[in-house]
Amino acid sequence: MGCIASSPNVKVPWTLSSLTRYEWLEWRKCFLTFMEHKYIPPYKQTRKFFEYIGFLGEEIANDYLYFEESRSETNLVTLLFKFDVYFMFAGVTKPNYQSIEEYILLLQCVAEQTGNNKNIEKVIKEKILQDFKCDNTFNQIKSRILMPCITNYETLALHELIFLWNECERPVELQQYMLHLQNGKNTSQCLPKTSCSFCGRHHVSMKCYAAGQKCYNCGELNHYARCCAKTYVADCPNCGSSHAQSKCPAFGKKCSRCKQMNHFSWKCFREIIQSCIFCGKSHINSRQMCTANEKRCSNCDRIGHFANMCYRHRNVRSGR
């Protein structure tokens, strides 16, 4: 295995032929050396990548890799990272009997063993996105969780992706049942006054049918959901799911969009500035979110804006 010589000191990468991480690393090294010698411009690098990697690479990109834009518009560094993650886990998937939390710990261990100690969260996020694409989870998120407003999953934080995955793994019957729990108050009010307030049935003392049972509404023991006294929230304004009022999954979590606490990004309604007068970029309407907030301008020596956005710079360009 090795590069195919095309001319002195310039070697052409071979077509990828296996799913082993060893061959990928060798091919990656050969490809980058070839690109350096040939001086391929950045706008052609992605196309060259798929020309040389062959059918196997095309199949991986089509079936497993998630792209915010079309893959042809993805830069080479991002593309190599996605393939690095794919070959790092070498077909590792989550078994049905394993919880998502246990699976995340497994991915973390694998990433650490391969020497990726600095970017573990980024690596795990990419692996989850690849699992989502392979298992058609994106369509489940849109149809079952009703969150079509998410346009770019790469911008989400790891805890937001885990929440979406947990929601998709909840049984459909349980989701439908919980969506009707907001009407549970009416059901419990219709129960005979002599019935048990924990299970809603008639029984002798100390023989409650709900003893030891877990409530699907609040998660606590010894009562059924239809008898739960806690307020139920449907389509929560902070997380988008349905749950007991005191059990919001977004509580204590940071929004990946505005960096504020206690809500997820798809429920964030902060105003977006399209072209900030201080940094020139788009971001949440907050000075704390501006990348130029603590930067010193080299034109006027003031803090809070970049040199290219300085009023003095604009005056010079306009000839004033």
Average pLDDT over residues 183-208: 63
233: three-class secondary structure by DSSP: strand
Q: Note the helical H segments in 71-147.
A: 76-89, 100-113, 120-134, 137-144
pLDDT at 308: 85
Task: Please write the tens of the pLDDT for every residue from 165-184.
Answer: 888 877 655 555 555 554 55
- Cross-strand partners of 254: 261
pLDDT at 235: 76
Backbone angles phi, psi at 226, to 5 degrees: -70, -15
Reading the block at residue 55, the tokens are 């059918």
Element (H, E) at 243: strand 243-244
pLDDT, greater one: 70 or 7:
70
pLDDT, greater one: 51 or 10:
51
Q: Give strand ranges (E) for 4-102.
A: 4-7, 10-12
What's the number of CA atoms in the CB half-sphere (13 Å) around residue 106? 13
Task: Provide the pLDDT confidence category of residue 318 given band limits of 50, 70 and 90.
Answer: very low
Give exposure, 70-90, as e/b (b: 16+ Cβ within 10 Å): ebeebebebbbbbbbbbbbbe
**pLDDT at position 2 over 60:** no
By CB atoms closer than 10 A (0-12, 13-18, 19+), residue 91 is: exposed
What is the Cα–Cα distance from 254 to 160, expressed in whole angstroms? 9
Instruction: Tell me how far the alpha carbon of residue 41 is from its chain's centroid.
Output: 31
- Give the Cβ contact number of residue 27 at 10 Å: 25
Task: Provide the pLDDT confidence category of residue 211 given band limits of 50, 70 and 90.
Answer: confident
Average pLDDT over residues 106-134: 88
pTM above 0.75, yes or no: no
What is the Cα–Cα distance from 260 to 254, expressed in whole angstroms? 6
Give exposure, 196-234, as e/b (b: 16+ Cβ within 10 Å): bebbbeeeeeeebebeeeebbbbeeeebbbbbbebebbe
What is the Cα–Cα distance from 34 to 4, expressed in whole angstroms? 10
* Cβ-based neighbours of 278, under 8 Å, separated by 6 or more: 287, 290, 292, 293, 304, 305, 306, 309
Percent of the chain residues past pLDDT 90, beyond the cut:
10
Reading the block at residue 284, the tokens are 């949440």
